Amino acid sequence: MVSKLALCLTTVLTATFCQVHASEFDEYLQSKKIIDQNFKIQQPKVLDELLAVLSAEDSKTLPLEIDHNTIIEQLQLSAEKTELKGMIITPDFAQFEADLGRKEVQKLIMKNLVQNCSIFFEHEYQKKNPYLVEFDLSSEKNHYKLELKQKDCGI
CA distances from 88 to 1, 7, 103 (A): 10, 12, 16
The pLDDT tens digits of the residues spanning 47-79 come to 999 999 999 988 888 887 766 777 889 999 999
Percent of the chain with pLDDT over 90: 60
pLDDT at site 10: 47
pLDDT at site 23: 59
* Residue of 114, 125, 97, 107 lying closest to 149 (CA atoms): 114
pLDDT at site 20: 39
pLDDT at site 66: 65
Interatomic CA distance for residues 103 and 22, integer angstroms? 34
What domains can you pick out in the chain, each with its CATH number?
2-153 (3.30.300.250)
The pLDDT tens digits of the residues spanning 103-142 come to 999 998 899 889 889 888 989 999 999 999 999 999 988 9
Q: How confident is the model at residue 91 (pLDDT cuts 50, 70, 90)?
A: confident
The pLDDT tens digits of the residues spanning 16-37 come to 444 434 459 999 999 999 999 9
pLDDT at site 90: 85
Q: Is the pLDDT of residue 155 over 60?
A: yes
